[in-house]
A and B are shown apart, each in its own frame.
Chain A
Amino acid sequence: MQVPAPFDYVRATSVGNTLELLERHGPESRVVAGGHSLLPMMKLRLARPEWLIDINDVAELRHITEEPDRLRVGSLTRHAALLASDVVGRLFPIVHDAEKVIADPVVRNRGTIGGSLGQADPAEDLTTVCDVLRASVVIAGPGGERVVDMAEFHRGPYETACEQHELITEVRFPIRPRMGSAYEKVERRVGDWAVGAAGAAVQMADDGTIADAAIGLTALGLEGLATEVAAVLVGQRPSEDLITEAGRLAAAASSPVEDQRGPVDYKRHLADELTRRVLRRALDRVGATVPAA
């Protein structure tokens, strides 16, 4: 049995209480949500917090609330809850695409959206999803609340704008009309982290051109959105050539590294292949037809 280094443990009762506890126990205290990233690292003794502040009782962090122009998701919302939510599936099918391939049911029953974004693993799927949906993140701290967009929130692998003494409370997704989205991941086996994945969201204009587009990649060495790809899409009518070009540019924007999951050229190929697939599916979902070449 792998066992972590010694630590103390306390259960928080509210957001305010969590912040107090973080303050009280100082820089070596860490929030634990689903625990599916933090606990494995502790067992390997790669993470050695002195205090774990368990937020699983903080009910105010667990909700999925639809408002006219946005969907608010509490940070303690489990992967399984996102996957089970009809509202989420209707508004943002990309979330269901991604959730179906995040880990396995056991992990999804505990792992949370806040923990996923907070962990910021380079192969983590929801960061890409939030990127392309232009989500924003609500961070509570001793000085009150602030709302940051994903570009500001996600600073790079394992680094976010949420400081050690702060708490992610909510993720907000803007609801936009005539929008389609999709996600696809290649994994070596169910439950494996991505070899590579791509997400796309497109918003169509009334004249049948693409009004807004966002493409993101997971585990393929691209931080944030592939802006070059969006640039060629916006204002254009969907076409095979356009999709091909988008794939080519996504591959060019990626900078993957070789590991056990595959070599660089394969991963670059995936950036291309998967970008084309998710773009096509996102367009399809919004009812935009792509004329045969």
Chain B
Amino acid sequence: MTTVEERSTMPQERESNPAANAADRPIGYGRIQRKEDPRFVRGKGRYLDDIVLPGMLHGAILRSPMAHARLVSIDTTEALAHPKVHAVITGKDLEGLNLAWAPTLSADTMAVLATDKVRFQGQEVAFVVAEDRYSARDALELIDVEYEELPVVIDARRALEPGTAVIRDDKEGKTDNHIFDWEAGDKAETDAVFARAAVVVSEEVVYPRVHPAPMETCGAIADYDPIDGKLTLYETTQAPHAHRTLYAMVAGIPEHKIRIIAGDIGGGFGNKVGIYPGYVCAVVGSIVTGKPVKWVEDRSENLMSTSFARDYIMKGEVAATKDGKILAVRTHVLADHGAFNATAQPTKYPAGFFSIFTGSYDLEAAHCSVTGVYTNKAPGGVAYACSFRVTEAVYLVERMVDVLAQKLEMDPAELRLKNFIRPEQFPYKNKTGWEYDSGDYEPALRMCMEQIGYADLRREQEEKRARGELMGIGVSFFTETVGAGPRKHMDIVGLGMADGAEVRVHPTGKAVVRLSVQTQGQGHETTFAQIVAEELGIPPEDIEVVHGDTDQTPFGLGTYGSRSTPVSGGAVALAARKVRDKAKAIAAAMLETRPEDLDWEKGRFFVKGDPSAAKTIQEVALGAHGTVALPDGIDGNLDAEVTYDPPNLTFPFGAYICVVDIDPGTGKVKVRRFVAVDDCGTRINPMIVEGQIHGGLADGVGMALMEFIGFDEQGNCLGGSFMDYLIPTAMEVPDWETGYTVTPSPHHPIGAKGIGESATVGSPPAVVNAVVDALAPFGVTHMDMPCTPARVWEAMQGRPTPPI
């Protein structure tokens, strides 16, 4: 069922000020201010670097200046002689502990500290532990490393050429830089459709390497207690429980003796899913020195060495009829994974969920093949709010649909409307095996067109074109696939993708919710309190949300791929319902009636036909812990715990339209307007939903216009600071205009689909499509991101160049 509601920015939807207007505040879903914000707006967030432990030492990492070189020798004598240095750890030392290499999240290995070779610029070579962070850095300069330079592999297109240097000669028998080949869909069927199609368009579409660049860089404080053998590890992680298990498996510390604490996390976007060498070194440093060791990377280290995103070179092809019926899509992708295959994604999906490249369209056939290669670059690949490569998939199909529209001289919005999966086709099985849970695409696109005034804009564009002015209108329509598992299909290093939640109502009717997922700024302390509030009628401010401490929370895989609400949201709702069922039995005992004779209205049970005979949830809570004679099988508390294994993913969608103006003399792109109509199913807190969208749209404009991690021929990283890796400011983005439709997920306990990554996924093609649309008078059919002034100007000269 779909209800198309009013624009979300309608005044009556604005949240009331909770303090001023307590009575209006929703107990459940609705706009309320974020419970966590009082500490953030006062500067009282507690990030990793705010934590100071008694006697704490500081670590710093020596990194490779070269992209590919043999390690000839490391001399640490001088560094060790520094009066404030406590330890210097090298790969050799780690070899003794069997920790020089560690498993990645993608069935590969990665060097913790280099032993044989360095394989990318910025790779970790040695770790210094000193009394303060200044001395630690000073001592790095006292370590003498001799390197023997090796030929570098930078161009992914040439990584598999015979005779190319082999990066992973640490792997037995490895004679090339090939990682994997993977495919989805039916090749023969797809080729057959292409063979008979009247129209075929193709382009090479590059999604260049970008970086999530969270405001807070990565870091850890390891505190190993040699007496009771317990390791407390404070970490910037999006997945505390998965980390704990991995440390137990790799480092041999028993799992019950490891406690991971993730405090406030200053942005993750996928950058903080993996385990980085710095974390492991901090642990070893603490074990070696017997003191807590803090390690926090700086901005350049974060940009140069931690998980990047994308780096997909995609050959895209679309087959269609002359009148614009899209028949099939096929693509081959060359995926640059860097020096170690360390992407964080479900085991069976080496290219993530890229096979959703069929988009929002009803196709006859589709096929993709993906080849992953090693290069002398930092490892990673799945990060930056990409929903396991849905970003690349959506960019490819949405760019290619525009290429087709241009070829057919059809309006790109009309072309999309013509090809959408129709509402009655849901649940829709696509040609690569996904089952889209629900969707109603046309109303969303029509709403977006209406809101931006699409027809008027096209008229304006025509007038401007006649005057030589460059204005572009870009449309994108995306379908996301988020909320992984189910666990039988999806795991990360063998851990099934399910998440737990525990709801506990205290005697006075206040509650605590414990989560396995980890907020990085998404507002979990509010959203999850609202889910419980909706189910139990306890006001959100009476509900404490606990997360980010493995000693205090149930097991689960963590927050990435927009999983929190689809997975833990399901767990919380089901746990709250269990509590409610229990409360009902207790209420019945208190009211001396049978549970079947009670009705529930948010916050209280009452006897059917006698609303005055009632017990509030708070009264029941006291009863549960008090002296009420409990019914058989009901014990004296009001708690429940659920691990939610999602039956399927959820498929949020949205329609985005972007308007750009381009300075014809300089190639500078100005984003004039951006309307985003999103459908994430049930909207728990519309303000938080919009906040997530605003952030993602800014990400999208950033990637489309400026973000790019490049390398020179020697493998030097050219994006290693915020002077070189540009992220957008308020000046580059317009005032966002948002709208929404609501198509609940039929299989989800509360119908919610997840929103964290929708805008990051959906907005880059809208911006690039607008730029290409503006440049159409120059005969441009495609240009790659980032659309910097120089690159736009080159496209205007008839020679758009790929960024890599």
Contact = CB atoms under 8 A, between A and B. Distances in A.
A188 interface: yes
A261 interface: yes
Interface string A261-293: 111001101100110010000000000000000
Contacts of B612: none
A186 B666 CA distance: 7
Interface stretch (B507-515, B538-546, B728-736): B728-736
A262 B296 contact: no
B789 A262 contact: yes
A269 B300 contact: no
Interface stretch (B132-140, B259-267, B367-375): B132-140
A3 B723 CA distance: 17
Given A188-B788, A189-B732, A270 B706 contact: no
B698 to A, nearest CB: 12
Given A189-B706, A190-B731, A1 B668 contact: no
Nearest to A258: B790
Contacts of A263: 790, 794
B85 to A, nearest CB: 14
Interface stretch (A86-94, A108-116, A126-134, A191-199): A191-199
Contacts of A3: 133-134, 137
Contacts of B729: 104, 189-191
A195 B706 CA distance: 13
A200 to B, nearest CB: 16
Given A2-B299, A3-B134, A190-B731, A195 B723 contact: no
Contact of A1 (B133, B724, B790, B793): B133
A190 to B, nearest CB: 4
B138 A5 contact: yes
Contact of A262 (B710, B723, B788): B788
A144 interface: no
Interface in B705-731: 705-706, 710, 718, 723-724, 726, 728-729, 731
A190 B722 CA distance: 12
B148 interface: no
A3 B705 CA distance: 31
B790 A273 contact: no
Nearest to A276: B665
B78 interface: no
B213 to A, nearest CB: 14
Contacts of B296: 1
B450 interface: no
A68 interface: no
Interface in B283-298: 296, 298
Contact of B728 (A104, A186, A189): A189
Contact of B666 (A1, A191, A260, A273): A273
A6 B138 contact: yes
Contacts of B49: 1
Interface in B26-85: 49
Contacts of A270: 666
A189 B666 CA distance: 13
B320 to A, nearest CB: 35
B731 to A, nearest CB: 4
Interface string B784-799: 0000111101100000
B303 to A, nearest CB: 12
Interface in B608-661: none
A259 to B, nearest CB: 9
Nearest to B722: A191
B665 A277 contact: yes
Contacts of A267: 790
B790 A261 contact: yes
A195 B790 contact: yes
Task: Indicate the member of A186, A190, A193 with the most B CB atoms within 10 Å.
Answer: A186
Given A266-B793, A269-B793, A189 B298 contact: no
Interface in B766-795: 788-791, 793-794
Given A3-B133, A189-B706, A266 B794 contact: yes
Interface in A226-275: 260-263, 266-267, 269-270, 273-274
A269 B133 CA distance: 47
A189 B133 contact: no
A274 B667 CA distance: 12
A186 B723 contact: no
Nearest to B134: A3
Nearest to B790: A262
Interface in A61-105: 104
B789 A260 contact: no
Contacts of B666: 186, 270, 273-274
Contacts of B134: 3, 6
Contacts of B298: 1-2
Nearest to B707: A189
B82 to A, nearest CB: 12
A130 B723 CA distance: 25
B736 to A, nearest CB: 18
B668 A186 contact: yes
A112 B678 CA distance: 46
A189 B726 contact: yes
Contacts of B726: 188-189, 192
Contacts of B718: 260
Contacts of A193: 723
A197 to B, nearest CB: 11
Contacts of A186: 666, 668, 789
A116 B791 CA distance: 29
Interface in B577-616: none
Interface string A1-24: 111011000000000000000000
B728 A260 contact: no
Contacts of A104: 729
A2 B299 CA distance: 8
A261 B788 CA distance: 8
B308 to A, nearest CB: 17
Nearest to A191: B729
A178 B772 CA distance: 44
Contacts of B788: 188, 261-262
Nearest to B296: A1
Contacts of B794: 263, 266
A274 to B, nearest CB: 8
A269 B663 CA distance: 13
Given A3-B133, A6-B138, A263-B794, A273 B665 contact: yes
A188 to B, nearest CB: 5
B665 A260 contact: no
Nearest to A45: B141
A52 B729 CA distance: 32
Interface string A170-199: 000000000000000010111111010000
25 contacts: A1-B133, A1-B296, A1-B298, A3-B133, A5-B138, A5-B141, A6-B138, A186-B666, A186-B668, A189-B706, A189-B726, A189-B729, A189-B732, A190-B731, A191-B729, A193-B723, A260-B710, A260-B718, A261-B788, A263-B790, A266-B667, A266-B790, A269-B793, A274-B666, A277-B665
Interface of A: 1-3, 5-6, 45, 104, 186, 188-193, 195, 260-263, 266-267, 269-270, 273-274, 277
Pick the 3 closest A-B CB pairs, nearest first: A262-B790, A190-B731, A266-B790
Given A5-B138, A45-B141, A266-B667, 12 more contacts: A3-B133, A186-B668, A188-B706, A189-B705, A189-B728, A190-B732, A193-B723, A262-B793, A263-B790, A266-B790, A266-B793, A273-B665
